Amino acid sequence: ILNVEQSPQSLHVQEGDSTNFTCSFPSSNFYALHWYRWETAKSPEALFVMTLNGDEKKKGRISATLNTKEGYSYLYIKGSQPEDSATYLCAFLRTGGFKTIFGAGTRLFVKA
Amino acid sequence: DAGVIQSPRHEVTEMGQEVTLRCKPISGHNSLFWYRQTMMRGLELLIYFNNNVPIDDSGMPEDRFSAKMPNASFSTLKIQPSEPRDSAVYFCASSLIRGTYTDEQYFGPGTRLTVT
């Protein structure tokens, strides 16, 4: 059974706070790790595609790191804004077929 | 490009009826994924295709579910007969996977299915 775990399940922060979430995944048969942002009543949209151990990606105030050997990825948001409120999903893709397994997500609430 | 197109956006049907969900992937993408979203189980992969061929259907809940991809621009997910527990949002996503290069998945708007 392949488990992709995300923590915390939900997070309430104030505008301006910096925050981070964790995605844990199997360290074997790694192919790629994706991060998605999912706003209520919309579809998930990709933030990052990460494939190499040690990868660090950044898009504006959001960044992510990847450790494939120990099986985790961190997503950081610097200076959270109310519009950052969404569910952040990570997805693990494994070799040999590219089966995609999503975590349950971290629900972020940013209060103005 | 219009993105991934799904139809219908909403479907309400009675238990026992056949339901067909449709998806048009982004042109040029070679992989297509069907997902089901429920409160209890989150986003679950049902089946995915690569170059129109089903690669992994282990997520399909039971024989009542079937999926086809007759060509690179069209896929269907069929439920026959439908049951109330099939009520969920069904997403289709497409992607480009080629060797060591993988693109992110682009999701359609989803079909909200309600089975009464």
Q: How confident is the model at residue B101 (pLDDT cuts 50, 70, 90)?
A: confident
- Chain B hits for A31, CB-CB cut-off 8 Å, are 102
Asked if B82 and B13 touch (Cβ cutoff 8 Å), the reply is yes
- Dist. CA B44–CA B57, nearest whole Å: 12
pLDDT tens for residues B47-57?
999 999 999 89
Q: What is the pLDDT of residue B1?
A: 66
Q: What is the pLDDT of residue A97?
A: 67
pLDDT tens for residues A20-75?
999 999 988 899 999 999 998 899 999 999 999 999 999 999 999 999 999 999 99
- Provide Rg for chain B, Cα atoms: 14
Amino acid at A14: Q
Residue A2 has pLDDT above 70, yes or no: no
Interchain contact, A43 vs B109, CB within 8 Å? yes
State the alpha helices, DSSP H only, in chain B.
none
Residue A1 has pLDDT above 60, yes or no: no
Q: Which of B43, B50, B102 sits opposite A93 (nearest CB)?
A: B102
Q: What is the pLDDT of residue A15?
A: 97
Residue B98 has pLDDT above 90, yes or no: no
Interval B1-12 mean pLDDT:
93
Please name the residues between 67 and 106 in chain B that touch chain A, using a CB distance below 8 Å.
Answer: 91, 97, 100, 102-106
- Dist. CA A24–CA A43, nearest whole Å: 23
Asked if B91 and B3 touch (Cβ cutoff 8 Å), the reply is no
Q: Which of A46, A97, A103 sits opposite B55 (nearest CB)?
A: A97
Residue B2 has pLDDT above 90, yes or no: no
pLDDT tens for residues A65-101?
999 999 999 999 999 999 999 999 999 998 876 788 9
B45–A contact, CB cutoff 8 A? yes
A93–B contact, CB cutoff 8 A? yes
| Nearest chain A residue (CA) to B42 | A104
Q: How confident is the model at residue B41 (pLDDT cuts 50, 70, 90)?
A: confident
pLDDT tens for residues B56-76?
899 998 899 999 999 999 999
Interchain contact, B42 vs A105, CB within 8 Å? yes
Asked if A90 and A34 touch (Cβ cutoff 8 Å), the reply is yes
| Nearest chain B residue (CA) to A98 | B97
Which residue has better confidence, B40 or A62?
Answer: A62
- Chain A hits for B44, CB-CB cut-off 8 Å, are 102
Spatial neighbors of A104 by CB under 8 A, at least 6 apart, are A5, A6, A9, B42
Residue B102 has pLDDT above 80, yes or no: no
Interchain contact, A102 vs B110, CB within 8 Å? no
Q: Which of A89, A93, A99 sits opposite B43 (nearest CB)?
A: A89
Interval B14-28 mean pLDDT:
97
Closest chain B C-alpha to A18 CA, distance in angstroms: 26
Asked if A31 and A53 touch (Cβ cutoff 8 Å), the reply is no
Beta strands B19-24; B5-7: pairing state: antiparallel
Query: What are the Cα distances from residue A55, in Å, to A64, A73, B83?
Result: 8, 10, 44
DSSP code of A52? S
| Nearest chain B residue (CA) to A43 | B109
Q: What is the pLDDT of residue A16?
A: 97
Q: Which of A43, A44, A100 sits opposite B45 (nearest CB)?
A: A100
